[in-house]
Amino acid sequence: MILRLIWESIRQYAQVVLSFLLEPVFWIMFFVLFFQYKKLEEIQKDIYGVVKYKKKDMMASSLLAGILGGMAISIVITVVGITFGKLEGAVFLIIFSLILLLLFDSHFICLSYSGGIVSLISLLLGYINTKGIINISEIPILRSFLNFDITAILILVSLLHLVEALLMYFDGARYPVPMFFKKNGRIVGGFILTRFWIIPLMILILLSLTPIGGDVIPTPDWWPLIRPDGIPINVNDAVFSLTPLFAILGYGDFTVSKMPKQKVKESSLSLFIFSVTLFALTVLSMKIYAFKYVAAIFSPVFHELIIILNRRKERMLESLWDYNYDGIKILDVVPNSPAEKMGIETGDKIISINNRRVNTICDAKVILDEAERYLWIDVEKLDGTVRSLEYYNYQTDIGSLGIITIPQDDAYIPLMDLDDTRVFKRR
């Protein structure tokens, strides 16, 4: 029986993905991703001088990861039996997310904000309408908010965040873009971590409490575990339909104190805890109505709190990349450069070139100008071990290593302030 549910969800999901390309909402989301990744390309040109991660590659991997994530959550929804009564507010979630993205910052595209806002508006308007303060049902622009299933919206938000946490863990650090930051009056290095995923998924919508004609898939006696508000415990004869739904998830972060992969794993754990807590609060609200308000407020407030605490932590922790006088700390390497070919990596520290000690980038330039067409470089890894690397080019002069390191001053570099990570400041 469980295997039949899994197979049916996969089969239906394949049809949803194929039909997704014909949906106008897909193309809206597609162009949102296109312009976001285009901005990342422009940042790369400022840092590397070339584009290291092309937007077509970033978009292709985002789409593939989103499809896989959507399939995973669709199988869970079907097998566990997380059912919904109605989801009229789903379109509003996407609209509010896009508005917040355009007005504020990329991380506001997250459904925790739009889901919480839409739910809270619906709850407050319902309260006003019930108390007779204002007859909301006579106001066309607000009337639709009265029909929203808050439980369905918030459960959906929690499930999508669970998917986002998994996508972050496995895919969030795929394209880290180096950036320079202003921290306590000093220039430090770090990385921008930005990923977006278009998620096609399927949800179970209640069609009828009595049997109707058509193909029926048998389910276990305990199924479904999560029922719509007001639905009786015994729903053996109820009929649910697998209905397609589309969402866009975004992850926007930065790190100056940790390697990108480590930072992403820590952030994904925080988001996982958030999603589980929101799910628990929403399930509890099915028994105690007041918890609908609690869950609606918790969704945007605690998600934003996670981000605020994360940024505060980055300001307080010691920077992993800063300018020093005992070696050259590597933030990143330019694509196809000598540094990349010889195996220099992010976090390495160059301590000698051609058996001559280097303390600053100026020391390295002097040695490189004198070098012929062969280099051997000693680098200190993050774990303290020292490795010797070699590079030769007998056809042309070596010229530049192609490393991205921390400059002494902020002239002519793109710079972000840790107190306002939304604003790029040109110097």
Torsion angle of C-alpha atoms 55, 345, 179, 360, degrees rounded to 10: -150
Helix (H) or strand (E) holding 295: helix 290-316
Alpha helices, H only, 178-289: 260-285
Model confidence at 231, pLDDT cuts 50, 70, 90, reads low
Section 101-109 average pLDDT = 72
| Length reported for the chain | 427
293 versus 419: the higher-pLDDT residue is 293
- Give the CA count within 13 Å in the CB-facing half-sphere of 277: 16
pLDDT tens by residue, 286-320:
889 999 999 999 999 998 899 888 888 888 888 99
pLDDT at 112 over 70: yes
Residue 422 pLDDT > 70: no
Enumerate domains of the chain plus CATH numbers.
2-316 (no CATH), 324-405 (2.30.42.10)
Look at residue 278 and tell me whether its pLDDT is greater than 80.
yes
The pair of structure tokens assigned to 343 is 């195996």
The answer to whether residues 351 and 330 touch, using CB atoms and an 8 Å cutoff, is no
| pLDDT at res. 293 | 95
**Model pTM above 0.85:** no
Going from the C-alpha of 375 to that of each of 292, 356, 370, the distances in angstroms are 65, 11, 11
Residue 175's pLDDT is what?
93
Q: Quick one: pLDDT band at residue 129, thresholds 50, 70, 90?
A: confident
Least confident among 1-10, 29-38, 91-100, 353-362: 91-100
78 pLDDT higher than 90: no
Higher pLDDT, residue 194 or 236: 194
Encode 63-81: b = buried (16+ Cβ within 10 Å), e = exposed: bebbbbbbbbbbbbbbbeb
| Degrees to nearest 5, angle at CA 81 with 7 and 74 | 50
* Residue of 52, 40, 363 whose CA lies nearest to 401: 363
Pick from 164, 153, 79: nearest CA to 122: 153
